[in-house]
């Protein structure tokens, strides 16, 4: 190109599309989704293989996790040490995996959400299960190896997994545009299902479920929607409802306590702390008064969360309340997505087992082909040695008469006697008839003299007989489907016998938790909110006794019902709703709770300008006024909404709400600006608009002036207000029309 750069013209959108698809596929295949054959993501596969390579076996000492992580990152997984260590930690957590693949030594986190210690403190090694079930036969050419990221090492494309690990240990992963979520299952049940499929390839998902009853979570619990499981396992998608296990224990004095001994799988981690907070919240909000004390007595022995009940409490109703109001009953979303034949696919139970069995036959074929080749080589050498023992004197004569190894080999293989001195012509003639193979010749040349002992020759003949038996067996396995299936089943039986354990999760059809809340007795309360935004409600009689102090200390005082809602209007034109029940009810001198704790209101972004009772507002009409002098009336019924926050009015740029008041047709409106202009006009001049409208202009403002106050009074009543140091009598102001400039108060 004569040193000139070449400009390639391309459509930008095409380039972006191609780049994004390449990135997405890379994440899907090489990071986030497990392979259906071994049930492992690349990071897990690489970590286990690296531990195997480093020789960190179950019967050897533990090694520092930092060493494992560093080695894995340097050789196979150049995506950061934290992702490798997190994968290693999860594979060692018995509360997350059906069968742990790594034996961790040190702090590997807890079921309550405590994180693992740093990798420099913890140690690990492979478990016996991993070695025998996930990594066996790697030396028998059973799987393909490919280059690592910099082509300096070889890494396995898949591990020779002998059980359907995708089902046994489940999987969780978020890719680009797709995610996988597969629950854990019982090893023994899964092995039985594989055997059943091998006996009958036409078996249905429903028939397979006689063996795989459903998920088996390491945390136990109860699956309560048994009838939904057949469809979930048929399609690979659905929702499993799981509950914690709750037992009722009798105490002295007729008291009872609820003890949670198993939690839903989804509650692992911070879920336990949230559950305790939720129960405390139910007690604080008086949704239940039956719980006296909550304590988490969990230990290494297992989960034990104790709720002490007061005497006479309805334990069954309370149990249902916990299922209904907390995460003690939760949903596990199933989406059995895995990489099958190089592409992501949602798989049902039968499809996963089918892929697994095909993989097992492929492994067995490659294994026994390799073993057969080795036995045939062995047989060839043994035959040569046996044959050599019969003519050992001749062979010794050849070796003694040879000038070099090359000459001796040529004689043994092809009968060439040119450069060899023989004692007799008979020996030479016999030597020309020798026809050993290259391999046999090498074995003869390397043979030690002790092999000529009678017993050794006998042992060699017995060994050869065994080799011939092995060859016959391996050929039978490779040429006969039933023989190969038998070998695979025997392997599965051995694995089941050693590693299977009882099911932990109960599968049943349970009735939906029915909890009848005690109806709150409706009563009138008084809402009080001080200038710092702390709010509470008190009994009307308490308010009346402290009326003067209440009115002077609080910005807003509103009479309302305890079952109702309050509407908070802010200067940004928004309305926030608060349930009166969410506010603390009690003594007059109680501090209350910040209003932003029980609503979407933000103290840093907006300012409350008025509070109304939602029910009283329903039949009222509200007057809205903004700093730029815009006015409108809106029917209160427009604010009867379910949302916690809505836009109460539309504002122009750089405008804000200054007043929201209840208005009627007989009143006069007085607008007062910051610079002291007053304008009085009848309220009938303000039109009724929708809440989404801007409104009409109420007063013509002078430069750098803005509306500051709005007052309402009825004709014939004397109403005085304070402006600066002066007192202004509103009914003495000259009546004018809306949209005037008003008169300045001097």
Q: Which residues are catalytic?
A: 121
Stretch (H or E) spanning 260:
strand 256-262
Phi, psi of 652 (to 5 degrees): -75, 170
DSSP state of 9: P
Residue 139 to residue 160: CA distance in whole angstroms: 11
Residue 53 to residue 47: CA distance in whole angstroms: 10
Residue 525 to residue 529: CA distance in whole angstroms: 13
Contact 622, 671 (CB under 8 A): no
Residue 256 to residue 310: CA distance in whole angstroms: 7
Phi, psi of 665 (to 5 degrees): -70, -20
Contact 544, 557 (CB under 8 A): no
Please identify which residue in the block is written with the tokens 């305890």. Answer: 562
Residue 742 to residue 529: CA distance in whole angstroms: 35
Residue 205 to residue 337: CA distance in whole angstroms: 17
Q: How far is CA 467 from CA 115, 208, 443, in A?
A: 54, 40, 17
CB atoms within 10 A of CB 598: 19
Please identify which residue in the block is written with the tokens 């409802």. Answer: 241
Residue 294 to residue 257: CA distance in whole angstroms: 10
Instruction: Give SS3 for 743.
Output: strand
Residue 234 to residue 369: CA distance in whole angstroms: 36
Q: How far is CA 157 from CA 149, 154, 306, in A?
A: 13, 9, 48
In angstroms, how far is CA 278 from the centroid of its own chain? 21
Of the candidates 729, 723, 635, which has an alpha carbon nearest to the alpha carbon of residue 680?
Answer: 729
Can you say whether the dihedral through the CA atoms of 680, 683, 684, 687 is positive or negative? Answer: positive
Stretch (H or E) spanning 167:
helix 165-168
In angstroms, how far is CA 619 from the centroid of its own chain? 49
Contact 510, 329 (CB under 8 A): no
């Amino acid at each position: 190109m004569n040193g000139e750069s070449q400009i390639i013209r391309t459509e930008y959108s095409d380039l972006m599309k191609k780049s994004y698809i390449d990135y997405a596929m890379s994440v899907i295949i090489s990071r986030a989704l497990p392979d259906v054959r071994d049930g492992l993501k690349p990071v897990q596969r690489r970590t286990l293989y690296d531990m195997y390579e480093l020789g960190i076996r179950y019967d050897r000492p533990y090694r520092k996790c930092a060493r494992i992580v560093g080695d894995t990152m340097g050789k196979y997984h150049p995506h950061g040490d934290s992702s490798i260590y997190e994968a290693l930690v999860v594979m060692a957590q018995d509360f997350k995996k059906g069968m742990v693949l790594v034996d961790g030594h040190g702090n590997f986190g807890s079921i309550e959400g405590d994180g693992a210690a740093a990798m420099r403190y913890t140690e690990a090694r492979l478990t016996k299960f991993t070695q025998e079930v996930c990594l066996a036969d790697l030396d028998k050419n059973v799987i393909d190896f490919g280059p690592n990221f910099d082509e300096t090492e070889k890494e396995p494309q898949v591990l020779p997994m002998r059980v359907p690990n995708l089902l046994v240990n489940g999987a969780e992963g978020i890719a680009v545009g797709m995610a996988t979520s597969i629950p854990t299952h019982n090893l023994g049940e899964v092995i039985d299902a594989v055997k059943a499929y091998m006996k009958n390839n036409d078996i249905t998902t429903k028939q397979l479920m006689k063996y795989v009853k459903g998920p088996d979570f390491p945390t136990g619990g109860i699956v309560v929607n048994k009838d939904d499981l057949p469809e979930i396992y048929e399609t690979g998608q659905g929702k499993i409802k799981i509950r914690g296990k709750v037992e009722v224990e009798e105490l002295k004095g007729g008291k009872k306590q609820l003890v949670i001994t198993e939690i839903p799988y989804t509650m692992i981690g911070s879920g336990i702390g949230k559950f305790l907070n939720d129960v405390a919240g139910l007690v604080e909000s008086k949704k239940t008064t039956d719980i006296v004390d909550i304590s988490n007595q969990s230990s290494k022995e297992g989960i034990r969360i104790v709720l002490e009940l007061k005497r006479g409490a309805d334990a069954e109703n309370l149990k249902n309340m916990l299922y209904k109001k907390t995460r003690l009953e939760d949903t596990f979303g199933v989406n059995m997505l895995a990489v099958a034949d190089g592409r992501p696919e949602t798989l049902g139970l039968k499809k996963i087992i089918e892929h697994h069995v095909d993989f097992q036959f492929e492994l067995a074929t490659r294994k026994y082909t390799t073993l057969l080749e080795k036995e045939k080589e062995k047989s060839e050498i043994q035959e040569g040695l046996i044959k050599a023992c019969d003519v050992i004197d001749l062979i010794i004569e050849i070796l003694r008469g040879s000038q070099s190894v090359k000459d001796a080999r040529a004689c043994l293989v092809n009968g060439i006697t040119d450069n060899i001195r023989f004692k007799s012509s008979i020996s030479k003639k016999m030597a020309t008839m020798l026809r050993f193979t290259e391999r046999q010749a090498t074995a003869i040349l390397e043979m030690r003299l002790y092999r000529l002992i009678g017993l050794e020759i006998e042992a060699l003949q017995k060994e050869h007989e065994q080799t011939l038996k092995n060859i016959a067996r391996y050929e039978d396995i490779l040429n006969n489907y039933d023989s190969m299936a038998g070998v695979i089943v025997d392997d599965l039986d051995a694995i089941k016998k050693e590693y299977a354990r009882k099911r932990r999760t109960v599968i049943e059809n349970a009735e939906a938790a029915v909890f009848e809340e005690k109806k709150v007795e409706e009563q009138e309360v008084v809402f009080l909110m001080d200038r710092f935004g702390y709010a509470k409600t008190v009994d009307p009689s308490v308010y009346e006794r402290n009326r003067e102090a209440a009115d002077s200390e609080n910005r807003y005082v509103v009479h309302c019902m305890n079952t109702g809602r309050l509407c908070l209007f802010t200067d940004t034109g928004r309305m926030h709703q608060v349930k009166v029940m969410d506010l603390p009810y009690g003594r007059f001198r109680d501090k209350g709770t910040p209003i932003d704790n029980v609503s979407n209101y933000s103290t840093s972004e907006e300012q409350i300008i008025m509070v109304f009772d939602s029910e009283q507002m329903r039949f009222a009409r509200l007057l809205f006024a903004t700093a730029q002098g815009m006015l409108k009336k809106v029917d209160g019924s427009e604010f009867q909404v379910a949302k916690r926050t809505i836009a109460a009015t539309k504002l122009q740029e750089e405008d804000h709400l200054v007043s929201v008041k209840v208005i009627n047709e007989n009143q006069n409106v007085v607008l007062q600006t910051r610079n002291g202009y007053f304008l009085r006009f009848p309220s009938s001049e303000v039109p009724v608009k929708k809440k989404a409208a801007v409104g009409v202009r109420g007063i013509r403002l002078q430069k750098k002036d803005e509306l500051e106050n709005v007052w309402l009074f009825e004709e014939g009543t004397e109403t005085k207000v304070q402006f600066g140091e002066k007192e202004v009598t509103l009914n003495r102001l000259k009546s004018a029309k809306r949209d005037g400039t008003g008169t300045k108060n001097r």
